[in-house]
Amino acid sequence: MLAHVRPEYREIAIELIDDPELASRINPDDESIESLVQRIRTLGFFSTINVKPRGDRFEVIAGHRRTIAARRAGLSTLPCLVYPSDACLLEAIQQAENVERKELSPAEEAIWFAELYERHPEEGTDGLAARVNEKRAYVEARLALLQGDDQVFAALRDGKIGVGVAQQLNRCTNQMYRRHLLDQAIRNGCTVATAATWIAEWVATIEPATRGALKADAPAPAAAPIVNDYFTCHACGSKAHPERMRPINVHDYCVDANVAPALEMWRRKSDYIARPRTLAEAIDLVNTIVDAWPDIAREAPPAA
């Protein structure tokens, strides 16, 4: 269809050229743009950018990075191919240009696809896929990244995790555990295979154990000795260093009979007195007790 669109070549004053309404990149790579600026200053501007009319001004369709570099290089005009405002597949032109010049990151594509979808909701994901010359499954996978965990998306956007890892982490429906896995992935590095293994373990063991658990705003039963909180150490009560938490397999009846009472004694350890092991320790203990309750010495029964 693009072959039937006949653009007009024009030299346009750079102050009349606006950035694209839906810029396809979140943060242009300043280092790469600066390199382009130096090349333009040395060799000149030998390519063209694609624009469309917008009133008395023009909007960039393709060539956004080159336009930014041209402004920084101090050019006054740019060679442009002006497409009619109703030209077909303007977004497809922009996608082809961006892929050819510099690959978009998955996060950047996700944002751009979402913006295009908001502009043309009546076309659905099939229409969006046609606009950007991609398969529908590819487009929907990118859109799903934005619908997932916002912290997972932020890590993907910042290059801390890969797109496959982000997709695997978003399969975990427990936010607290998902954030724990995200922290592990960022701290230690993570492949898609590793993330898939984590999720498989979660599906097989942790998810069934936490299914139907109380919501955060619901009161916990007073009689429950241990709550399934995988990010609190049950010995010290701290949430620090979640990466050093270790799962322990234990029967529920063993928890009730042994673990819960032992943890309760541990938490109340200051209430208990250790049995003296030597005569000196026994004398110290007696003195401590008499100092705390002096009447005990006067009321003590005489020795037999």
What contacts 113, CB < 8 A, 6 or more positions away? 128, 132, 139, 142, 143
pLDDT tens digits, residue range 74-94?
999 999 888 876 445 455 555
Q: Compute CA 244 distance to the chain's CA centroid, rounded to the nearest angstrom.
A: 21
- Angle at Cα 100 formed by Cα 99 and Cα 104, nearest 5°? 25
User: Token match 């001004």: residue?
Assistant: 57
Query: Smallest Cα–Cα separation from 93: which of 58, 64, 54, 136?
Result: 64
E-assigned strand segments in 44-162: 49-54, 57-62, 77-82
Q: What is the pLDDT of residue 220?
A: 44
* Greatest mean pLDDT among 28-32, 57-61, 274-278: 57-61
Q: Does the pTM exceed 0.85?
A: no
How long, in residues, is the chain? 304
Which residues face 79 on adjacent strands? Answer: 11
> 44 — alpha (psi -120 to 50), left (phi > 0) or beta?
left
Structural tokens at position 111: 């944002």
Structural tokens at position 263: 């943890």
44 phi/psi in degrees, rounded to 5: 95, 180
Please give the Cα distance from 33 to 35 (Å, whole number): 5
Q: Which residue has the higher pLDDT, 67 or 245?
A: 67
Indicate the class that CATH gives domain 1-102: alpha beta
pLDDT tens digits, residue range 200-246?
988 888 777 666 553 444 444 444 444 455 567 767 777 777 667 67
Strand ordering across the sheet containing 49-54: 8-13, 77-82, 49-54, 57-62, 17-18
pLDDT tens digits, residue range 252-286?
667 677 777 777 777 776 666 777 888 888 888 88
Q: What is the pLDDT of residue 149?
A: 92
Confidence label for 20 from pLDDT (cuts 50, 70 and 90): confident
Please give the Cα distance from 270 to 260 (Å, whole number): 17
Which residues face 291 on adjacent strands? Answer: none
Please give the Cα distance from 79 to 62 (Å, whole number): 13
pLDDT tens digits, residue range 140-194?
999 999 889 989 998 998 889 999 999 999 999 888 889 999 999 999 999 999 9
For the chain, give every domain's residue range. 1-102, 248-299
Please give the Cα distance from 284 to 52 (Å, whole number): 91
Give yes or no for a contact between 92 and 124, defined as CB atoms under 8 angstroms apart.
no
Structural tokens at position 18: 């606006």
Confidence label for 57 from pLDDT (cuts 50, 70 and 90): very high
User: Token match 């130096």: residue?
Assistant: 38
Give yes or no for a contact between 79 and 11, defined as CB atoms under 8 angstroms apart.
yes
pLDDT tens digits, residue range 102-121?
556 788 788 778 877 877 78
Q: Compute CA 275 distance to the chain's CA centroid, rounded to the nearest angstrom.
A: 53
Q: What is the pLDDT of residue 297?
A: 67
Give yes or no for a contact between 138 and 128, defined as CB atoms under 8 angstroms apart.
no
> 180 — alpha (psi -120 to 50), left (phi > 0) or beta?
alpha
